[in-house]
Structure formats: structure tokens, C-alpha cells
Amino acid sequence: MDVSDSVERNARPEILVIGAGIAGIAAALRIRALNDSCGITLADAAARLGGKIAGDVVDGCVVDGGADVCIGSKLRATSLFAALSLGARVIRVNPDNLPTYESRDGELCKSPTTFHGELLTFREGVRELVDVACAALSDVTVRTNAVAESIQRTDDERWITHFADGTSLLADATIVAVPARAAMTLLSSLAVPAAKTLEEVAYPATTTVTMAWDADDVQSSLAGTGYLVMEPSSAVSACTWTSSKNPTHAPRGIVLVRGYVRGCGLDAVSLVRAEVASTLGVTAPPLFTRVYEWPAGIPVYPPDHDRNVSALGDALAAVPGIFIAGSTFHGIGIPDCIHSGECAGESAVTYLAARQIEEAA
């Protein structure tokens, strides 16, 4: 029996994007920009779209839960930048060219490492990028809380994805844009041995803690973007002086600070408060606190990652109709993820067009 008999077959060609982080969202947007007739489904295991891009606005303060900047030259080079008119939304990070510091034995000194390019953010934080992108999704079916468990090829050379809730979805092309372990599971279900190398990608847990104070409670000048804690044993790895780094992210008279804690499940608030008290002398209770835990944080690649991804790409060339995207494979920065998603979307559309020509012949 054809395995596609158990799922509904649509008249128009379908593309499934598994993973609705910014890479998956960018893939869906690029597909729709290039093909206005195919069906697109964007599925994610989480309850919301955006992956590790999260945030909030609290009492006029912009709180980024994950990434808080984008490399300007890379973001401007994406198709999404022009398509969403992001030029009117982005703002420059660190407009006063303040230095970054390093903390060594409790003392702050200017960091010898300086980024000379343009860094960008948005007036409501990086989450604004996801909100704008999601609002632009046209004629796209979005499925949240949809855990993809396996992918199987049908007798008519399409792809059926099975989800944990017992449902299945048939597609002519599928893009896998999920974290490494999930990607390894899905690609291994297609008998792609090269996918095994994805287990070497590590995801250290991290927690971000953002706090706000009345400026009168902060005696330090905070004339910088923040500091990195150089002691590897420190529970707190860095501290961003958000209201100095991004002045538009806090009302006048409010100091906004974000601490980064190594790991999850810790008393991250107490750890950051102790760090701020020790380094900046701030002991007053904060006006508010926001905590974001990331049990699987930013991916850390093994030394041979590029070679592994290249080998995986070669293996997938023998599995037509399956494409990969996202920070698991092609870089951890937001613009890198967008570019990766757009490339996968373009490849899927090209494949679909070639398949339609072949079927019509």
C-alpha cells in the first residue's frame, strides 16, 4: 500500500518547513515570495514561533530574552530586510560608541577586543523582527505544538512527516530547520548516516536575567556596553548595561541591566543581584525582574563542523526534496539563520519547479 494513502492529498504542490525559528520563518517567506501557488506549512514543536528569539516590553523597558543584536551588514544582505522594509525599523546599537569591559578579579578594564562593524536592533527588541515576519506570512498554515518524529518517502517520491500527536503531513519538499538532536532524529529516519555527526553539536544551558532600577539607585556611571566575566568558574558569564548599549530600550531615569548565568535551574536572580552588587555597587531591590531560561542555548560547533555539514549536504543530494536550514548547520547569528532559511526556501522552490516540469513532460 502507498504510505500516502493514510493522509490527505492536496491538489497543489506542498512544502513543509519543520521548525519555526527565524530560519524556518525566513524559509517560508522566501518560498512564498518565489511561488504564490504552492501550499506551505510551517510546523514547530513549541507553543509559539520564533525559537530562541524572545522578549517583552515592561513599563516602557525593552527586554530581550535571547539575542539582542544583529550584524548590520549581514542583516541588510538578506532578502527579508528589503521584503519587510526593516530599514525603517532598525536602530543602531551603541550609538555613543561606548567601550566594552572585562571583569578580572572583580576589577573592570576595557576589553582589547572591539567589533568595528554595525550592530542593529529594533525599538521593541529583536522580538519585533519575529513579530513583523510572522505578520507577513501569507497563505501559510502554521502548526504549533507539533513535534515531528520521523520522515518517510512515499511510493510516489514525496515525503510524509509523522508527528507525535498521531497526525501526518504529505509534502513534495521538506525543509528541516530544527536543533541538532531533533534534526539528527529526522534525518536518520531517512537512513542518512551523515546525520549522526549532529550529536557533536553542543547546546550549553544558559539563563538571562534582566533587571531595572531607578537611576538614583545606581551610583556607577555605566559608561559602557557591559562586561564579560573572564573567570570560567563564575556562575555569571557577562553583564550587559542595556540602557547604555541601547538607550531607546529604557525610559529616561531608568537603568536596565541584563546578566547571563551559566546553566538553568539555578537561583539566577540571586546570582545576578550578587554580581551587580559586587561589581557595580547596586544593592537596592530592582523595579522589576524578567528571567528567560534556555536549557539548550546557543549551539557550539565541534572543530570539524563545516566538514560534517558539507558531508551531510552531499548525502542529502541523494535524497531529493529534503533541505536543511538554521543554526544547527550554517551559523548562530540571526542574519546567518535568515540567510540559511532563504537558501533552503529557494532550493525547495527550484526543486518543485523541476519536478513539475518533469511530471508534465
pLDDT of 325-342, one tens digit each?
999 999 999 999 999 999
For residues 86 and 156, membership in a common domain is answered with: no
- The pLDDT score that the predictor gives to residue 180 is 97
Residue 238 lies in a domain: yes
Residue 61 lies in a domain: no
**Is 329 domain-assigned?**
yes
User: In the chain, how many domains are there?
Assistant: 2
Judged against a pLDDT cut of 50, whether residue 145 lies above it is answered with yes
Residue 63 placed within a domain: no
* Residues 148-192: tens digit of each pLDDT: 999 999 999 899 999 999 999 999 999 999 999 999 999 999 999
Strands 107-110 and 100-104: antiparallel
Whether 143 and 118 map to the same domain: the answer is no
| Residues 254 and 283 both lie in one domain | yes
Q: Is the pLDDT of residue 9 over 60?
A: no
Residue 325 belongs to some domain of the structure: yes
Q: 289 and 217: one domain?
A: yes
- The confidence score (pLDDT) of residue 206 equals 97
HSE value, Cβ hemisphere, 13 Å, CA-based, for 210 = 25
Do 67 and 53 meet the contact criterion of CB atoms below 8 Å apart? Answer: yes
Percent of the chain with pLDDT over 90: 91
Q: Where does the chain have alpha helices with state H?
A: 22-34, 72-76, 79-83, 127-135, 180-188, 242-245, 268-280, 305-316, 327-330, 334-360
How many other C-beta atoms can be found within 10 angstroms of the C-beta atom of residue 95?
Answer: 11
30 lies in the same domain as 157: yes
Query: Do 218 and 269 lie in a common domain?
Result: yes
Alpha helices in 106-200 (DSSP H): 127-135, 180-188
Give the residues across from 61 on adjacent strands: 58
Evaluate whether residue 117 is within a structural domain: yes
Dist CA 213 CA 315 (whole Å): 53
On whether the CB atoms of residues 231 and 102 are closer than 8 A, the answer is no
* Residue 10 clears pLDDT 80, i.e. is over it: no
Does 2 have pLDDT greater than 80? no
Q: Are residues 329 and 283 both part of a single domain?
A: no
The answer to whether residue 273 sits within a structural domain is yes
Q: What is the extent of the structural domain holding 168?
A: 3-51+131-199+302-360
pTM of the model as a whole: 0.94
Q: Is the pLDDT of residue 118 over 80?
A: yes
> Do both 221 and 86 map to the same domain?
yes
Task: Report if residue 101 sits inside a domain.
Answer: yes
